[in-house]
Amino acid sequence: MRNKTMRVALAALAMACSAQALAVEGTFALEDGSYSITVEEADGNLVVVEPNKRSVYTPDGSGAYTFHNDNTGSDFYMRVLDDNTLEAGRLPQTGTPSILKKVDTAGAMAAIESNDEYTAIAERYASLAETDPDNTQAWSMCAAAAFKRAMSDEAGFAAYATQTAAVLQQILVGSANPCPDAIPAQYW
């Protein structure tokens, strides 16, 4: 049971963010898988659930939902493009908005179950994240990369591994890859 719970939690991590809110409830991710959110409906609002916070987006009358972050003073919006697609960005709008697609969680779980080698690698790094608090962030990223590899095609994994390697290189002391079995050398 613990492995199943860990798999579900790490799958959400690897996958790694609005008019008919009930139709769009679920997990949404950027195309490259680098960022994901869970969207819930509550009292006519959209609630964006991230690993470290819950943000309530309220309807603004234009078909969009908005949120003001008191900590940063920034305003954000979310618009439902269809049942499987959200557009998200800052207000006032600058640059290109982010497009998030609904994640096929059942399909991702089936892929993980069918790829035991990378799932085992991910579980090993997840265990290290729990037992080595000084390196939790690095081990969690290694676990997420291995899960992404278990449930993605090669192109999706390559993009995720490259991005994860770049982040790890910024936070690590030293230049050695801490998880070459999760992030192969060609992406490091």
Checking if the pLDDT of 150 tops 60, the result is: yes
57/80 same-domain check: yes
**Domains of the chain: total:** 2
- What confidence tens digit (pLDDT) does each residue in 70-103 have? 999 999 999 999 888 999 999 998 889 999 988 7
* CB-CB contact of 49 with 39 (8 Å): yes
Under 8 Å CB-to-CB from 60, ≥6 apart: which residues? 66, 77
Q: Determine, yes or no, domain membership for 108.
A: no
11/84 same-domain check: yes
Write out the DSSP string of the chain: -HHHHHHHHHHHHH------HHHH-EEEEETTSS-EEEEEEETTEEEEEETTEEEEEEE-SSSEEEEEETTTTEEEEEEEEETTEEEEEEES--SPPEEEEE--HHHHHHHHHH-HHHHHHHHHHHHHHHH-GGGHHHHHHHHHHHHHHHHS-HHHHHHHHHHHHHHHHHHSSSS--S-TTTS-GGG-
Of 15-24, 116-125, 154-163, minimum mean pLDDT range: 15-24
* CB-CB contact of 164 with 170 (8 Å): no
User: What single letter denotes the amino acid at residue 14?
Assistant: A
84/146 same-domain check: no
91/135 same-domain check: no
10/66 same-domain check: yes
Rg of the Cα atoms in the chain: 18
Of 7-11, 30-34, 127-131, minimum mean pLDDT range: 7-11
pLDDT for the residue numbered 5: 45
Q: Determine, yes or no, domain membership for 84.
A: yes
- Domain membership of residue 168 as a residue range: 115-187
> Which of 36, 39, 55, 49 has its CA nearest to residue 144?
36
pLDDT for the residue numbered 111: 56
Average pLDDT over residues 124-135: 90
6/97 same-domain check: yes
Checking if the pLDDT of 14 tops 70, the result is: no
**Rounded Cα distance, 88 and 77, in Å:** 6
162/86 same-domain check: no
0.75 exceeded by pTM:
no
Residue that terminates a domain, selected from 102, 130, 156? 102
57/96 same-domain check: yes
For the chain, what is the mean pLDDT? 82
Residue that terminates a domain, selected from 102, 130, 159? 102
**Rounded Cα distance, 117 and 49, in Å:** 30
146/97 same-domain check: no
Banded pLDDT at 174 (limits 50, 70, 90): confident
Q: What is the CATH number of the domain that holds 94?
A: 2.40.128
Checking if the pLDDT of 146 tops 70, the result is: yes
160/87 same-domain check: no
- What confidence tens digit (pLDDT) does each residue in 22-40 have? 457 888 888 766 778 889 9
